[in-house]
């Protein structure tokens, strides 16, 4: 069932390259209006997912939809902005030329934003793209994506290869843009801090499968660290409560990372610990534990 509340939806999405499954039944849902950070280890399937969503690679099976339309529909890309991880553009064009080239494809092109970002990013109009630094190319690629008046912005590692100052510039521009325009942003990243900074939704993919997804606040509420301190050595115990991600035992302390606190608490209290302490976990911990459990 496809919902218009979803800007991106994949159902049981599979992609096989040369006998290797890059995506293995990926179920992804990105709500309209959200800023969704797409996390995963190298080779987890992030770029493949983005390529399938944009029709650059064909799904082996399953459903992929953008803004309610099939991902292979070229017309839907009129409503989508995209910045690839390499940010490679046409080397034989100048900055002015590539902007003039891109503009006619998008009837709702925002010339006001074009002027704004040309100045803000200090883009040298007559300069050849091949002579631009990686940072300036990233800014140009971002301008070409933002001025489309897109309903959905897809960014593949937008700050990859940038120095921290340049990465911050790009993120600030992105946050500023999203604050003033109604749009959905879906971006992949290795930088958990940067995802934490701007995302309100998270999707963590590992080995081609979705392992964690949801609103970041919900995830922070759900994921908790429960520490049980015993008078003597902590017992070796196997929890049956749903949502237990990881259990570690260290002397008198048993630490449990869980996605669902309440069922665990009942089971934990039955062990009669001296004390029980519940503390929040960071996004980095959620990420690391989520991908580690798949090992």
Partner 1 sequence: MLWHKAWRETRGRFITGLLILTVLSAAKVYEYVVAQRMMPMAESVLSGAEKTPLGDAIRDAIAVQREFRGFIWYNSFRDNLTQLGVLFAVLLGCGGLLAEAKKGSALFTLSLPVTRKQLLGARVGIGLAQCFALAMVPPLVIPLLAPVVGQSFSIIDALVHGLCLFFVGALFFSLASFLSTMFGDIWRPMLIAIVIACGAVAVQLVLPELGLFRLMSGETYFRTGALPWMGFLATAVLASALLYSAAETLERRDF
Interface with partner 1 (CB under 8 A), residue from 11, 33, 106, 247: 106
Residue 142's CB: how many other CB atoms inside 10 A?
23
For position 104 contacting partner 1 by CB under 8 A, the verdict is yes
Closest approach, Cβ 16 to partner 1, in A, equals: 10
Task: Name the residue nearer to partner 1 (CB basis): 88 or 262.
Answer: 88
Residues 45-64 binding partner 1 (CB under 8 A) are: 51, 54-58
262 is a site residue for partner 1 (CB under 8 A)? no
**Which residues 6+ apart lie within 8 Å of 3 measured at CB?**
9
Based on the shown chain and the rule CB under 8 A, indicate whether residue 82 belongs to the binding site for partner 1: yes
> Measured between alpha carbons, how far is 16 from 147 in angstroms, rounded to an integer?
34
In the list 92, 233, 280, 284, the residue contacting partner 1 (rule: CB under 8 A) is 92
Whole-angstrom distance, CA of residue 41 vs CA of residue 288: 9
Figure out which of the listed residues 1, 20, 74, 179 binds partner 1, where binding follows CB under 8 A: 74
Query: Is there binding between residue 84 and partner 1 (CB under 8 A)?
Result: yes
Among 71-79, 190-198, 230-238, 286-294, which window interacts with partner 1 (CB under 8 A)?
71-79
How many C-beta neighbours within 10 Å does residue 143 have?
Answer: 25
Q: Are 145 and 183 in contact (CB under 8 A)?
A: no
Alpha carbon distance 144, 90 (integer Å): 12
Answer yes or no whether residue 110 interacts with partner 1 by CB under 8 A. Answer: no
Cα 20 from Cα 10, distance rounded (Å)? 20
CB of residue 149 to partner 1, shortest distance in Å: 13
DSSP 8-class letter at 108: T
What does the CA dihedral 1, 218, 157, 197 come to, rounded to 10 degrees? 150
Residue 19 makes contact with partner 1 by CB under 8 A: no
The residues that bridge with 63 in the sheet, in sequence order, are: 11
Closer CB to partner 1, residue 58 or residue 292?
Answer: 58
Category of 74 on φ-ψ map: left (φ > 0), alpha (ψ -120 to 50) or beta: alpha
Binding residues for partner 1, total number by CB under 8 A: 29
Contact call for residue 141 and partner 1 (CB under 8 A): yes
Footprint on this chain of partner 1 (rule: CB under 8 A) = 17, 51, 54-58, 74-78, 80, 82, 84, 86, 88-93, 101-102, 104-106, 141, 144
């Amino acid at each position: 069932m496809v919902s218009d509340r979803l800007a991106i939806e994949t159902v049981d999405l599979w992609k096989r390259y040369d006998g290797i499954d890059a995506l293995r039944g990926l179920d992804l849902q990105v709500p309209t209006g959200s800023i969704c950070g797409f996390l995963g280890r190298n080779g987890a399937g992030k770029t493949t997912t983005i390529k399938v969503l944009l029709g650059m690679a064909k799904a082996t099976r399953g459903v992929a939809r953008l803004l309610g339309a099939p991902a292979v529909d070229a017309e839907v890309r009129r409503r989508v902005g995209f910045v690839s991880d390499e940010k490679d553009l046409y080397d034989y064009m100048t900055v002015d030329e590539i902007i003039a080239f891109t503009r006619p494809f998008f009837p709702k092109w925002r010339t006001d934003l074009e002027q704004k970002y040309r100045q803000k990013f200090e883009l040298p109009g007559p300069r050849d793209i091949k002579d631009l630094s990686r940072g300036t190319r990233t800014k140009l690629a971002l301008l070409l994506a933002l001025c489309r008046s897109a309903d959905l912005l897809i960014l593949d590692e937008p700050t990859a290869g940038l120095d921290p100052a340049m990465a911050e510039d790009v993120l600030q521009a992105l946050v500023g843009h999203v604050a003033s325009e109604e749009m959905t942003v879906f971006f992949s990243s290795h930088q958990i801090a940067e995802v934490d900074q701007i995302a309100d939704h998270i999707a963590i993919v590992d080995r081609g499968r979705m392992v964690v997804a949801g609103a970041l606040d919900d995830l922070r509420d759900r994921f908790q660290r429960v520490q049980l301190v015993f008078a003597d050595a902590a017992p070796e115990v196997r929890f049956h409560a749903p949502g237990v991600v990881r259990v570690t035992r260290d002397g008198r302390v048993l630490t449990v990372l869980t996605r669902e606190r309440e069922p665990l608490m009942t089971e934990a209290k039955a062990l009669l610990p001296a004390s029980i302490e519940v503390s929040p976990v960071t996004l980095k911990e959620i990420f690391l534990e989520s991908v580690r459990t798949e090992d």
